[in-house]
Structure 1
């Protein structure tokens, strides 16, 4: 862990004061001097010092990211209901005497595809709305809407109405999934940024754990309340989270992008302990400098601007990063309870294994925090993804002999091992990488595009292919489904080796410089930035 150091302050008053920053050009000595100090402060701050000085930022980041628990809860909930006896009896159709009532592959496809489409709509709306009104207002509106949409799924008399309700609920979840990492990256300093962005993945795990626990407790209940109660649990979240969003400070980067420097300073004061308010001017100068550096290359803040100039490469990395959470076999291993049943394990045992798996995923994310400060994002992803590929091939080969209960248990346990490996590597580190890799002016748009790519991948892989591969009424491939995912994951690993960029220990301004210089992914971890080029000024910077 980095040791704490101190940096001699460069007082911005010597260069004309804070008010001078707004109209200063990129090469102004006062702006460059303050930005250099701000960057030095970021790099010198250790983890514990960062938590101590920015505990308020960590607190608000945790609260806002907690909205992702709702998405993790519901995604697991609906996928698990496809194998839930009482839900199948209410909304399914009779297949045969052996399989009884089932939610057909066709209906599973509709739920998965329309749900992902709703998530995409929510994410895209968030990218547009956040640039105009900020994270807080958008979050409050979507929380209010979700409260009403939950009524539809709770009282749904038919599978058609259930589909409409799930579609409408999916729009706010798309907003939540893209707000969490963006807000966390924008309110926390470099020293603790990885922990707070990785916490978004922990929220997913928490949501899945709660969902699996509720389902396990009600799986033997034969009444309608066995699936209505899990839907009703969703009403617990919106009101307290609405209050949290109302009280939370807006991102200072949002204010900087909109030339509201005084508001940005007030936001930083709310996010920093009072005894560290003396460092705010330098931090603000660094933010303004970074914003002007990006404006020099690309002025726009619209979605399509993410495909221009160096932003194109950054968008590719973010999109493929999130897509790797699909192509790594997640559609197989995250539909665990349904998959376990198809391999011959009882419904009660299947939901018990799924509950244990979500607990392992939770612990795995916590474990990742032990080395996330030391190992690079690229390193963690490569080693973690290689492990997932190996596990998928093993599950596939175990399906080649004639299936029996022992092999079924072996495959199911390997799915749990996969969840543990995923939650210790690819799961949390992608949230860190995606939140960091985009430019500051296009961060939310980059996260939105990346998450939308994830949803499109989920439509194709999880929505169309996985139900056909595994459903008894379709291809019924059972464990052999793993071969498809193993092949796809292998191709993704090759992409990551050549293209995944290292963002660890870099300020946003330094990342801008590296992308503008065309630094390759394999050299990104050890690249040394020439400070005199990044903070080039019209006159010498005082030191």
Structure 2
């Protein structure tokens, strides 16, 4: 459809519109058609700085990933266990270990803090914007690392993790929303999926650092990995101070000139990138969602927004129920599967490196096959592998059984980041209404932590030799929960590939069934 066709197009009442409303709606339709007609490479060339700033914002995820995997590795670190643990005289030879209750407490403390942080992130971001909210989180992160560095007991470590979780909540709620809002339609998938890559990078850094320092027999074995956290917040704070605010947030606040300037900073001048038309597109979508009141958490559970909220919450919950906890506890899992400490750390590092590679491979798959297809296939394959892991753990202790469990644990961890994990970020970013996005991503991530905290206790109990001592048989448990996630996704997860935010708003308002989304045609002039 050409610009001339759009200008001659009547509105939904059969009338030709005049004045400002006609002008901005015409520009909005032109911008939407341009985004639909772009290829991925054209979008990258038209919006190079949008890609850069999405990359910068995604980098904040490294800090949560680093610390989550750091605590998981500390539990398997001999010097940490000797300093803060108890001696297990029943083992041969006797060895120090962290009690299951403290294993679980240390791993869930950060998540508990992040749970509080995500509830703060929504109202904070809605009020002051993504940029300033992220800056606040980065400065807070710098301060909380001090407590962890000087901690001399497990209770102090617990408090330090709890406080570090507060800025994690801000980062994890804001990053997918910001990344999806600053890039054009064709780049939404890779811009949000890169978050999973940074999660893997965080685990690679931790794996490399702890692999190097785990042989040390002094407190530097865990002090230096803690101190390295200070490498990230200050440089990121400087970059975020220079970053443009999300133009969608600025349009929501009625600051149209600033929004136009922000779009201009994100793209380059070309026929594919007209800042004024892009802002008109945003105005059109936000006008569809307009309300007389400020966004509130109560709105997430009313009308068609309830469905959108439930999808986001279910996808976030599914990240903990389909094999993710094996990935987060990879080193400890490998130890309990029967391999040596050094080999366990090496396998953990290999797992993280493979995860990063497979996340990058998933970008093309999501763009080609779509979100729903990749999520269903990825989760289904992981369920089958988890059941196989359970079988390997049930055949008795032997070298072959240990190697099979370690291999399957590695494959499950890697394949999780090939399909279900990265595509989840894309689904989360696209599902929510623009007006409620900071709140929706916040409540969704809160669901993640609410599910993760009991799962951490369960996972630690199942693996610990003084607890359930299940080893690979935990695959049966995670296979069962993963299968439930697959069933829920099959019936309720819509395909949002190639859809503009206007089209998604209309389809949710029309209550289009999930399995009909990809077959539904929405015309460019439709607003209802």
Q: Which bin holds the TM-score, normalised by the shorter protein?
A: over 0.9
Is contact 1:60–1:248 with CA below 8 Å preserved after alignment? yes
Q: Which of 33, 41, 51 in structure 2 is aligned with 1:58? A: 51
CA contact (8 A) 1:198 1:432 kept: yes
Deviations 1:135-185 (A, max 9, x none): 111111111111111111111111111111111111111111122111100
CA RMSD in angstroms comes to 2.2
| TM-score normalised over the length of structure 1 | 0.92
Q: Which deviations, in whole Å up to 9, do the C-alpha atoms of 1:194-231 show, x marking residues without a partner? A: 11111011110110111111111111111111111110
Mark the runs of 5 or more structure 1 residues left unpaired by the alignment: 1-6, 16-23, 535-543
2:152 match: secondary structure: coil
- Secondary structure of the corresponding residue to residue 447 of structure 1: helix
Residue 178 (structure 2) aligned to one of 178, 183, 201: 183
Q: CA deviation at 1:526?
A: 2.1
Tell me the matched-pair count: 518
Shift, 1:443, TM fit:
1.2
The DSSP-based 3-state class of the residue aligned with 1:525 is: helix
- Aligned 8 A contact 1:332 1:482 in 2: no
Name the SS for the 1:131 alignment partner: helix
Query: Secondary structure in 2 aligned to 1:524?
Result: helix
> Are 1:12 and 1:34, in contact at CA under 8 Å, matched by a contact in 2?
no
| Alignment equivalent of 1:115, drawn from 110, 116, 124 | 110
1:379-408 Cα deviation digits (max 9, x unpaired): 010010011101000000111111112211
Task: Give 1:74's aligned residue.
Answer: 67
Give the drift of 1:370.
2.5
Answer yes or no: is the 8 Å Cα contact 2:323–2:478 preserved in 1.
yes
Alignment of 1:360-379 (within 5 A): 360-379=354-373
Q: 1:358 aligns with which of 352, 357, 362?
A: 352
1:141 matched to which residue of 2? 136
Separation in structure 1 between the aligned mates of residue 175 and residue 374 of structure 2, nearest angstrom:
21
1:29-68 to 2 correspondence within 5 Å?
29-68=22-61
Instruction: Write the distance in 2 (CA, Å) between the matches of 1:410 and 1:77.
Output: 26
Give the Å deviation of 1:262. Answer: 1.2
1:223 counterpart = 2:218: yes
Q: Find 1:483's aligned residue among 466, 476, 480.
A: 476
Q: Is the 8 A contact 1:195 1:369 kept in 2?
A: yes
Q: 1:437 aligns with which of 426, 431, 447?
A: 431
CA distance in 2, matches of 1:197, 1:399: 36
After TM superposition, which residue ranges in structure 1, 4 or more long, deviate above 4 angstroms? 7-15, 24-27
The corresponding residue for 1:283 is: 278
Structure 1 segment 67-466 matched on structure 2, within 5 A: 67-98=60-91, 100-275=95-270, 279-295=274-290, 299-462=293-456, 464-466=457-459
1:541 matched residue in structure 2 = none
Moved more, 212-221 or 96-105: 96-105
Compared CA separation, residues 27 and 461, structure 1 to 2 (3 A) = farther
CA distance in 1, matches of 2:409, 2:472: 11
Cα deviation per residue 1:445-464 (whole Å; 9 max; x = unaligned)? 111111111111110112x2
Separation of aligned partners in 2, 1:268 and 1:370? 26
**Distance in 2 of aligned mates of 1:199 and 1:175:** 18
**Residues 56-105 of structure 1: CA deviation (Å, up to 9, x unaligned):** 11111101110101111111110111111011111112232525221111
In structure 2, relative to structure 1, the CA distance for the partners of 1:25 and 1:341 (3 Å cut) is farther
Give 3-state SS (helix, strand or coil) of 2:76's partner: coil
Offset of residue 119 of structure 1 = 0.7
Asked if 1 retains the 8 angstrom alpha-carbon contact of 2:34 and 2:272, the reply is no
**Uncovered stretches (5+) of structure 2, i.e. residues with no partner:** 10-16
Shift of 1:530: 3.4
CA offset digits 1:472-523 (Å, max 9, x no partner): 1212122111111111111111001001111110111110000001111111
1: CA distance between counterparts of 2:166 and 2:174?
A: 13
Deviation at 1:303, TM superposition (A): 2.1
Deviation at 1:375, TM superposition (A): 1.0
For 1:263 and 1:418, the matched residues in 2 are separated by 46
Tell me how far 1:8 sits from its aligned partner: 5.0
Which residue of the partner structure matches residue 539 of structure 1?
Answer: none
Offset at residue 372 of structure 1 (A): 2.1
The alpha-carbon deviation at position 465 of structure 1 amounts to: 0.9
User: 1:323-343, CA deviations, whole angstroms, 9 ceiling, x for partnerless residues?
Assistant: 111010221343111111112
State the Cα distance separating 1:421 from its structure 2 match.
Answer: 1.3
Question: How far apart are the structure 2 equivalents of 1:432 and 1:93?
Answer: 43
Following superposition, the deviation at residue 113 of structure 1 comes to: 2.8
